[in-house]
Structures are given as C-alpha cells and as structure tokens.
Amino acid sequence: MATDRETASALKGRDFLTIADFTSEEMNLLLKQALDMKALTKKHIPHPYLNGKTLAMIFEKSSTRTRVAFEVGMYQLGGSALFLSSRDMQLGRGETIADTARVLSRFVDGIMIRTFAHEKVEELAEYASVPVINGLTDTHHPSQVIADLLTIYEHEGRLEGLKACFIGDGYNNMAHSLLEGAAAVGMDLIVASPKGYEPDPLILRNAETRAESNGCRVGFTYSPKEAAEGCDIIITDTWLSMGDEGEKEKRLHDFQGYQVDDALTALAKPDYLFMHCLPAHRGEEVAPDVIDGPHSVVFDEAENRLHAHKAILKCLMENN
C-alpha cells in the first residue's frame, strides 16, 4: 500500500476527470486534504500552497457553487482564477478545443471546465500540458462527489460500511460519479430510477466490479422503496438537468413516485442524512419538509464544495 507521500506525489500534475481514474488511496488522500483545508479555513490560518498560480475557469454551463468554490478556493490558496465563458472566448466562435488547450497551457497553471459533453473535457485534457479539472459534464460530476463524501464522513465519522441510495435520474452526472465514489471508498450505494433513466451500463458495471473488490455493493433498482430501505444517506438531484428543460412535462410524469418525501424517508434509518447537490426544485424531486427538515445537510454539502475543490487544486497543482 502506498504511503501518503507517495500518493501525493502520484497526484501532482494529474487531470481530474472522473472518480474512476483514482485509486482508493488517492481518494482517501483527497478527503484528508479537504478536511485539512477546512480546518485551516475555519481557523483563519493562511495556506498559500498555490502562491502565484492561476486557474483558467471555462464555463459553458451556468454555475453558482462551482464558480464560487473554485474562485474563492484559488484566492485562499494564494493564487488567482480567470472566469471564461464561451461567449468571451474564441472557443465560442469555432476555435478548436485542442488549440484552446495548447494556448491556455502557455498562460495558466491549471484549467477547470464546466460543459456539456464529457468528450470535450477529455479532448481538452489530451492537448493541455497543465492539469484539467472536470467542473461538471453531462456524464460526470466528480468534484461534487468529493464534497459529498467529505460531508458524509463529517456527519457519520466513516464511509466504509455505510448504506446510501440515490433516487432520481440514473443517467445523470451525480448518479454516475456517486456510483464510482461509493465503490472507491467502500460504501454501499443503490440507484433507483424509472425505466428509460438507468445509469450508463459501462459505468455501472465498472463500479460494481470495483465495489466487489472493496467489499461493498453498488447497484440499480427500479424501486425507490427498495433502495431507501435501511439507508444511512438518501441522495437526490433535480429531474431537469441543464439542457433537459424541453422535456419538463415528460420528466415530471416519468418521475412520479420518485420524490423523496416523508413516506420514502420513513424507510431509512431514523438518523438518516438527506443530501442534494443543489439547486433544488422543492415539490418535484424532494418535498419541502425533507430538504428543509432536521435530517438535511444540503448546506453543509454546499459549503464543502469550497474545501473539496481546494483539496483537488492543491493536490494537482502544488509545487514539489
């Protein structure tokens, strides 16, 4: 088993595209670093690990938490961040991803991108000579899942042996990254979705294989009640991701019976946690009394985006 020093060395200069790209040791080190970042921040202790470094932030999808967490995170780490929307870049006027990657690599020390197709992030990473961080694609949301796992660990004191469920759209960036994250840290996770919204078969199969090797179980069911039975953590996400707005009426119909409400949470453990990456649509994927109730940790989860993102930035971009 690698030491923390060896693991940290292996992370430097890497891209952060999917959870599946990282070993369990690397995932655990990222979480340790996130806890350290949070402690330093809360104590107002300066921690300029990225002094003089710059992160380019490309946004082709709108954002609240991702932009604020990465921008504030770089500032607190001693560096700076540049906000670049597709409207402000030549990328939005037809410049290739490859050329954008090569040019930005001459100016900055890292690139974060929040976009639609995951293939765009992969191409950017292929041609960039600096670390590329996935701030969200239609298929994966790994930076959010680091914050989610950090939140669960803070409230439960462990990750291994816990049982979680995700209720909603299984072919969703959160469902995919949660499957990969749970498998990496030894936590059970069942995704429950209606027909037509199952997780990507390859992502699910790979996560199941990894989970088995780590002594836990991830899987899929069409029954939200089966998924929620005895859970420590119930997780959901909006039924309407960015780009799905034209399907609103169809999705609202298809997801009937998948709302996280009092009837569903009654099947979980009495001290269950409720999580949602936000923004939330109260009355759709979650009942107001659940998200605003005593079991909800959604704002702890949102705050932890800052500390999780700082951990990712430090691990990938810190000087030797």
Q: Which of 165, 216, 231, 277 is catalytic?
A: 277
The single residue of 14, 109, 114, 309 carrying the catalytic annotation is 114
> How does DSSP assign 38-107, residue by residue?
HHHHHTT----TTTT-EEEEEESS--SHHHHHHHHHHHHTT-EEEEEEGGGSGGGGT--HHHHHHHHHHH
Is residue 237 among the annotated active site residues?
A: yes
Active site residue 114: yes
User: In one letter, which amino acid is 255?
Assistant: F
| Catalytic residue, candidates 232, 237, 259, 276 | 237
Q: Per the annotation, where are the binding residues?
A: 63-66, 90, 114, 141-144, 173, 237, 241-242, 277-278, 305
Q: Which of 140, 141, 276, 307 is catalytic?
A: 141
Phi, psi of 114 (to 5 degrees): -125, 115
Which residues does residue 163 pair with via DSSP β-bridges, in sequence order?
188
Judge whether 280 and 274 are in contact, CB under 8 Å. Answer: no
Answer yes or no: are the C-beta atoms of 265 and 295 closer than 8 Å.
yes
Distance from C-alpha of 159 to C-alpha of 162, rounded to nearest angstrom: 6
Which residue of the set 14, 210, 305, 309 is catalytic?
305
Residues annotated in a binding site for L-ornithine: 173, 237, 241-242
Q: Which of 14, 144, 148, 251 is the catalytic position?
A: 144
Write out the binding residues for carbamoyl phosphate.
63-66, 90, 114, 141-144, 277-278, 305
Residue 277 a catalytic site member = yes
Catalytic amino acids?
114, 141, 144, 237, 277, 305
